Amino acid sequence: MDILTLVGLVAGVLIVVLAMLANASLLTFLNLPGLAIVLGGTFAVTLIKFRLSSVTGAFRLAFAAAFTDRVPSPTALIREVGALAMVVRKEGILGLESHQTDNGFLQKAINLCVDGHPPELVEEALVQESRQIEERYEVAERVFRGIGESAPAIGMLGTLVGLVQMLNTLDDPSSIGPAMAIALLTTLYGAFLAQLIALPLADKLQLKAEDEGRNHLLIITSMRNIMRGENPRVMTELLSSFVTPDQRLGLAPEREA
């Protein structure tokens, strides 16, 4: 699923760049001072609005959202914890010790169980971990929404600066067009940054936070049942409320196991 984030980012940028190349060279659209105003100004404003650690964390999360595929489908998760429940049924909690999983949150849950902590403490630790992951997504979303708000405003500021410069040197009529083109570029950069990158990423991070939150709840619910020694089939039945009816069909063989 996450590959689409990258595809969307690349496609959006490519489409606009191709449109630029249609009737002019790309150099026409490159104005380093303008780029410096929009990127630098937006970064300066973001530094005032947020902590530096929030900003770097936001970019790390967005990068991860674009290039890696970390949110597993609930169906796969239900099958995995179903298998874990079978193991615990046969070999006891310590049977989980050898289980390795890509899912960091599930791995943490397993480790806490194997370490022999009491169930309430395991659950509390997982709930707190989940809340902190959620908070990190929320801060990242706010950072990108902040960028999406500031970038067009700073771009407009740059265009105003360019217009004032141009209007003071109207002597040479032939320079009006190109000068105004350069003035417009900062507005273009700001809109580009906000509409094709920052705002969509903010929406994506919000969506991922919802997905992760639902998976965390699923894992916490299942670990509670596993530690109670619940019947694996009953647990899978119970967890099926996390998925749509269509996805539930995919769980059927598991249930009959």
Residues 59-118 that bind a copy of itself (CB under 8 A): none
Q: Which is nearer to a copy of itself, 42 or 226 (CB)?
A: 42
Q: How far is the CB of 40 from a copy of itself (least distance, A)?
A: 4
Which one, of 237, 230, 257, 247, lies nearest residue 85 by Cα?
230
9 binds a copy of itself (CB under 8 A): yes
Kindly tell me which residue out of 172, 174, 228, 253 binds a copy of itself, with binding defined by CB under 8 A: 174
In this chain, which stretch among 76-84, 87-95, 96-104, 124-132 interacts with a copy of itself, using CB under 8 A? Answer: 124-132
Q: Which of residues 185-224 bind a copy of itself (CB under 8 A)?
A: 185, 187-188, 191-192, 194-196, 200-201, 203-204, 207
Kindly tell me which residue out of 86, 93, 161, 217 binds a copy of itself, with binding defined by CB under 8 A: 161
149: exposed, middle or buried (C-beta count within 10 Å: 0-12, 13-18, 19+)? middle
In this chain, which stretch among 99-107, 115-123, 148-156, 212-220 interacts with a copy of itself, using CB under 8 A? Answer: 148-156
Q: Which is nearer to a copy of itself, 82 or 146 (CB)?
A: 146
Q: How many residues does the chain have?
A: 257
Q: Which is nearer to a copy of itself, 29 or 137 (CB)?
A: 29
215: exposed, middle or buried (C-beta count within 10 Å: 0-12, 13-18, 19+)? buried
Q: Which of residues 29-48 bind a copy of itself (CB under 8 A)?
A: 29, 33-34, 36-37, 40-41, 43-48
Q: How far is the CB of 80 from a copy of itself (least distance, A)?
A: 21
